[in-house]
C-alpha cells in the first residue's frame, strides 16, 4: 500500500513500468535556490538542519519551485561524524572544517556509534516535519555518506581535491582505517534507521570520493562497508548507491543488492547500464550543462534520455547541482524530462 500521489520514483525503484521517467537532482535542496540563500542570512547551517520547520521548508522548496518528482531530506553527510563525537563546522565559502582530524588509535577508540540516536535526536522530529510538509505529494529520499567518503573528511579535516592525508593514513594504517570505517558504518546504519522510523521512502548513499581509489583499494576501503549498509537497509526500503568516479565498481556495487546505481557523466549511459546489470540506473547529466545556454540544456538532456533507453531509469545529474545554476535552467531540465517520449 502506497499513499504517495506521485510515486513514479518508487515504482521505478521496484522496476515497475511507469508512464514517464522520474526526475530529481542531487543537492537539489539549497545552494542555488534564491529563497534558501535568504534563509542562510538568518540561520547557521546546522540551525537549518536541526530546526524541523526550517528543514521542512527547505526540503519542500525544489518540489514546489522546480517540480522534481522526489524530495531529499535537508541535512548533510557530515552529521554522522558529529554522531561519532567529532566536531564539524561548515564555513560559508570554505566548506566543512574538522578542527581535530582523526589520525591516531586513541582518537578512533573514543568514537562511539552508540551515541548516534542521542546526538542526532533531531533527525526524528525534522524528518517527520518534512514528511508532514510534503503531504504525500512525492516520496522523501533519506541519505548518508559512504563510510569511505566520511573517512576522507574525518582524517583530512577539510575538503580536498585528492584527500592525500586521508589516503596516506589508510595505506599506512590499514587496520586502524578498518576500525574507523566499521564505526562509521555502524553509526550510518543507526542514522538511516532513524530516518526510516520517521518515514523516508528510499535512501541514497553518497560515495562522493569513491573515484579517488583504485579498483583494488575500492574493494578494501569502500565496498565492504557499503555492502554492510545495503544489507541492513535494502530489506526495508530501496537503496540507491552513488559512487562518483567509481564506474569500474558498478558490477560489484550491483552485487550488494542495492535497487539502483547512480552514474556520473564520465560514463556513456549505455555502457553504465550494461555494467550495472539488473539494477535501476540514475544520472548522469554534467551539472555544468545547467549553466547554459538553454538550448544545450534541452539538447543534452534529450540525448541523455535517448542514450539511457526505456525503463528502469531515473533522470538526474551526474553530481550535485551547482550553486550558480539559474533556477529556470533547473526547471528546463525537469520539464524536458517530463515532456520526453521515447
Ligand atoms: O539536496 C540537498 O542539498 C540536501 C542536503 C544535502 C547537503 N549536503 C546540504 C548542504 C546533501 C544531500 C548533502 C550531501 C553532501 N555533503 C555530500 C555528498 C554529495 C556530493 O555533493 O558529493 C558531501 C560530499 C557533503 C559535504 C559538504 N557539505 C560539503 C563539501 C559542503 C560545502 C560545499 C557545498 O556547498 O556543498 C557542505 C555544506 C552543505 N551541505 C551546503 C548544503 C546546502 C552548503 C552550505 C550552505 O548552504 O550554507
Tell me the per-residue pLDDT of 238-254, one tens digit each, with 9 for 90 and over: 999 999 999 999 999 99
Q: Decide: 122 in ligand 1 pocket, CB within 6 A.
A: no
- Could you give all domains of the chain from N- to C-terminal order, each with its CATH number? 8-339 (3.20.20.210)
Q: Decide: 267 in ligand 1 pocket, CB within 6 A.
A: no
Q: Is 76 tagged catalytic?
A: yes
Give the per-residue pLDDT at 94.
Answer: 87
Q: Decide: 159 in ligand 1 pocket, CB within 6 A.
A: yes
- 30 in Cβ contact with 36 (< 8 Å): yes
The answer to whether residue 1 scores a pLDDT higher than 80 is no
Pairwise CA distance, residues 64 & 168, whole Å: 44
Residue nearest to atom 48 of ligand 1 (CA): 45
How far does the centroid of ligand 1 lie from the alpha carbon of residue 231, in Å? 26
Pairwise CA distance, residues 279 & 331, whole Å: 27
User: Is pLDDT larger for residue 78 or for residue 92?
Assistant: 78
HEC string of 181-212 equals: HHHHHHHHHHHHHHHHHCCCCEEEEEECCHHH
Using the atom order of ligand 1, give the atom closest to the CA of residue 95: 32
Q: What are the percentages of helix, strand and coil residues in the chain, rounded to 5?
A: 50, 10, 35
Cell numbers representing residue 337 in the block: 524530462
Give the per-residue pLDDT at 93.
Answer: 81
Pairwise CA distance, residues 18 & 50, whole Å: 36
Per cent of the chain over pLDDT 90 is 97
pLDDT digits (tens, 9 = 90+) for 185-202: 999 999 999 999 999 999
Q: Decide: 243 in ligand 1 pocket, CB within 6 A.
A: no
How far does the centroid of ligand 1 lie from the alpha carbon of residue 73, in Å? 11
Give the per-residue pLDDT at 92.
Answer: 82
Residue of 236, 146, 152 whose CA lies nearest to 194: 236
Give the per-residue pLDDT at 24.
Answer: 98
Pairwise CA distance, residues 245 & 138, whole Å: 29
Using the atom order of ligand 1, give the atom closest to the CA of residue 30: 43
Burial environment of residue 289 by CB neighbours within 10 A (0 to 12, 13 to 18, 19 or more): buried
How far does the centroid of ligand 1 lie from the alpha carbon of residue 27, in Å? 7
Q: Is the sign of the CA dihedral 207, 208, 211, 213 positive or negative?
A: negative
Burial environment of residue 75 by CB neighbours within 10 A (0 to 12, 13 to 18, 19 or more): buried
pLDDT digits (tens, 9 = 90+) for 123-168: 999 999 999 999 999 999 999 999 999 999 999 999 999 999 999 9
Pairwise CA distance, residues 272 & 267, whole Å: 6
Identify the active-site residue in 32, 48, 50, 76. Answer: 76
Q: Decide: 27 in ligand 1 pocket, CB within 6 A.
A: yes
Q: Decide: 206 in ligand 1 pocket, CB within 6 A.
A: yes
Residue nearest to atom 24 of ligand 1 (CA): 208
Identify the active-site residue in 32, 36, 153, 225. Answer: 153
Pairwise CA distance, residues 86 & 120, whole Å: 13
Please report which helix (H) or strand (E) contains residue 129, including its range.
Answer: helix 123-134
Q: Which residues contact 114 (CB under 8 A, 6 or more apart)?
A: none
Q: Decide: 46 in ligand 1 pocket, CB within 6 A.
A: no
Residue nearest to atom 30 of ligand 1 (CA): 95
Q: What is the number of alpha carbons within 13 Å of residue 78 lying toward its C-beta?
A: 19
Query: What is the rounded average pLDDT for all residues in the chain?
Result: 97
Amino acid at each position: 500500500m502506497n499513499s504517495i500521489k506521485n510515486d513514479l520514483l518508487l515504482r521505478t525503484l521496484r522496476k515497475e513500468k511507469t508512464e514517464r521517467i522520474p526526475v530529481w537532482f542531487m543537492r537539489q535542496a539549497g545552494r542555488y535556490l534564491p529563497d534558501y540563500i535568504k534563509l542562510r542570512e538568518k540561520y547557521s547551517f546546522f540551525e537549518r538542519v536541526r530546526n524541523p520547520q526550517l528543514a521542512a521548508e527547505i526540503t519542500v522548496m525544489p518540489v514546489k519551485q522546480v517540480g522534481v518528482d522526489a524530495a531529499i531530506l535537508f541535512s548533510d553527510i557530515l552529521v554522522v561524524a558529529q554522531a561519532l563525537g567529532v566536531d564539524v563546522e561548515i564555513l560559508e565559502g570554505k566548506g566543512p572544517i574538522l578542527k581535530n582530524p582523526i589520525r591516531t588509535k586513541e582518537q578512533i577508540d573514543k568514537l562511539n556509534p552508540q551515541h548516534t540516536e542521542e546526538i542526532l535526536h533531531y533527525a526524528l522530529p525534522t524528518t517527520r516535519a518534512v514528511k508532514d510538509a510534503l503531504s504525500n505529494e512525492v516520496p522523501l529520499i533519506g541519505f548518508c555518506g559512504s563510510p569511505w567518503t566520511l573517512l576522507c573528511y574525518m582524517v583530512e579535516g577539510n575538503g580536498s581535491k585528492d584527500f592525500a592525508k586521508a589516503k596516506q593514513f589508510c595505506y599506512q594504517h590499514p587496520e586502524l582505517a578498518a576500525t574507523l570505517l566499521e564505526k562509521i558504518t555502524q553509526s550510518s546504519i543507526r542514522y538511516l534507521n532513524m530516518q526510516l522510523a520517521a518515514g523516508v521512502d528510499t535512501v541514497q548513499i553518497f560515495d562522493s570520493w569513491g573515484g579517488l581509489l583504485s579498483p583494488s583499494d575500492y574493494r578494501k576501503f569502500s565496498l565492504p562497508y557499503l555492502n554492510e549498509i545495503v544489507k541492513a537497509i535494502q530489506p526495508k526500503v530501496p537503496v540507491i548507491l552513488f559512487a562518483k568516479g567509481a564506474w569500474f565498481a558498478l558490477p560489484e556495487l550491483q552485487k550488494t543488492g542495492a535497487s539502483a546505481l547512480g552514474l556520473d557523466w564520465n560514463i556513456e549511459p549505455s555502457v553504465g547500464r550494461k555494467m550495472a546489470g539488473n539494477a535501476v540506473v540514475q544520472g548522469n547529466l554534467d551539472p555544468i550543462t545547467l549553466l547554459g545556454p538553454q538550448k544545450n540544456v534541452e539538447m543534452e538532456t534529450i540525448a541523455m534520455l535517448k542514450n539511457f533507453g526505456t525503463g528502469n531509469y531515473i533522470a538526474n545529474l551526474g553530481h550535485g547541482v551547482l550553486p550558480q545554476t539559474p533556477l529556470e535552467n533547473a526547471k528546463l531540465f525537469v520539464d524536458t524530462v517530463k515532456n520526453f517520449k521515447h
